[in-house]
Amino acid sequence: MSRLPEAVVVGGGLAGVAAAVAVARAGLRTLHLAPKGPPDRRTSALMGPSVDYLRASSLIGDPSSLGHPLTQIRIIDATDRLIRAPETLFDSKDAGLEAFGWNFPNIKLLEAFEVAGAALPNLETRELSLSGIDRGSDGWILTLSDGTVIETPFVVGSDGKKSLVRVATVFRAREHGFTQSALVCDLELGRPLGGASVEFHYEQGPFTLVPAGGSRANLVWIDDREVLKAAQASGPEGLRETFLKKSQRLFGDIKLLTPTHMFLLSTLTVERAGMDGIVLAGEAAHAFPPIGAQGLNLGLRDVADLAASLAAADRSVPHWAQAVSADYAARRADDLERTGGMVDALFRSLLSDFLPAQALRAGGLWALRLLPPLRKQAFGLGMGNR
């Protein structure tokens, strides 16, 4: 890039690459800082509206070439509590849909996004990190990990939960850590899940099997960190026994297909997602436990709103970057608050030992089971419909 970039996008995760593509497509000379990290072994359940966005913005083609449809959500209360919820099955047909969404390996999504980015002549990607960011006379001065210093009017911080862009600049965030973590791996089941994502709700968190095609499933198990560490230490045979027990042997024998990976869980919310020529997207702006598959769905809505803010901007005026960041913050405010609040309430209600909270949760699931209009509303909320 011979001239100074009009925008710098920081972070090479899924939100970062999608944001870099969106910013470059809006016509800005864009520098993308995307240091190579270890491969992201997670999968993402993306709801219908997110998949529609990915297709409309040519980030992916046919979803069936990358992932597997999610047609049902089955919730099994596996707790020993006094007030237990009924087993509940949500079917996409009840919402008038072929599928709620799709389950994609993150590695495949990232590859597809990178292909879309490589086709854009005004997008330059460097495998460098941001090591410092300071206010300049006309924007932000960025120091890169190779010592290069550049100035730009507009910065997108999509550098994950510990975002340097967020902590070193103007943003205020609230963070809360949990004693739980999430353990993920790929499994082969004796009996296939079909299109059903099956959640066993235990006192310390859900044990979820997500369909990954054929007899394969992706496991997301949330539990106390020490319990997960002990399970990991028990080796493949110990893990297999634990998984059989946790899945109540409903799906026959279980074979581990990949090693397990652990992720620390926390919530993070920012007061505003954009100001002073900087916007935050993805986990730089919001993080929460993987309950109800919301994280990346919300991150992609960040990117969609970033594209809308840039499309509406007049970049011929001075301080256009400040105007874009203010517009973005306004567009994102409701969705961030609503989604963050919903996931937090859901997670806490799952873990709560408080009897009225258990009664509310069980009563809520009964109501969703019995009342189609309420169920439709809940589907819409979970899918991120605006």
Ligand X SMILES: Cc1cc2nc3c(=O)[nH]c(=O)nc-3n(C[C@H](O)[C@H](O)[C@H](O)COP(=O)(O)OP(=O)(O)OC[C@H]3O[C@@H](n4cnc5c(N)ncnc54)[C@H](O)[C@@H]3O)c2cc1C
CB 284 within 8 A of CB 164: no
> Residue 223 interacts with ligand X (CB under 6 A)?
no
The residue within the footprint of ligand X, chosen from 29, 42, 246, 301 (CB under 6 A), is 42
The residue within the footprint of ligand X, chosen from 44, 57, 71, 169 (CB under 6 A), is 44
> What is the rounded distance in angstroms from the CA atom of residue 107 to the CA atom of residue 109?
6
Segment near ligand X (CB under 6 A), from 159-167, 237-245, 317-325, 364-372?
Answer: 159-167
> What is the rounded distance in angstroms from the CA atom of residue 262 to the CA atom of residue 222?
10
> Residue 101 interacts with ligand X (CB under 6 A)?
no
Segment near ligand X (CB under 6 A), from 7-15, 81-89, 316-324, 362-370?
Answer: 7-15
User: Which positions from 296 through 315 interact with ligand X, judged by CB under 6 A?
Assistant: 296-297, 299
CA distances from 12 to 111, 171, 195, 196 (A): 11, 21, 30, 31
Nearest one of 212, 226, 206, 219 to 259, comparing CA atoms:
219
DSSP H or E run through 50: helix 48-56
The residue within the footprint of ligand X, chosen from 57, 71, 72, 158 (CB under 6 A), is 158
> Residue 157 interacts with ligand X (CB under 6 A)?
no
> Residue 274 interacts with ligand X (CB under 6 A)?
no
Task: For ligand X, give the closer residue by CB, 194 or 363.
Answer: 194
> What is the rounded distance in angstroms from the CA atom of residue 382 to the CA atom of residue 386?
11
The pattern of x and - marking residues 171 through 200 that bind ligand X according to CB under 6 A reads -----------x-x----------------
Coil, strand or helix: which one is 133? strand
The pattern of x and - marking residues 201 through 220 that bind ligand X according to CB under 6 A reads -------------------x
DSSP 157-172: E---TT-HHHHTTT--
CA distances from 229 to 40, 131, 209, 224, 260 (A): 20, 33, 19, 9, 10
Supply 182's token pair.
Answer: 């999430």
Task: For ligand X, give the closer residue by CB, 372 or 380.
Answer: 380
The residue within the footprint of ligand X, chosen from 6, 199, 223, 283 (CB under 6 A), is 283
CB 380 within 8 A of CB 339: no
- Interface contacts to ligand X, rule CB under 6 A: 10-16, 33, 35, 37, 42, 44-46, 129-130, 158-160, 164, 182, 184, 220, 263, 282-283, 290, 293-297, 299
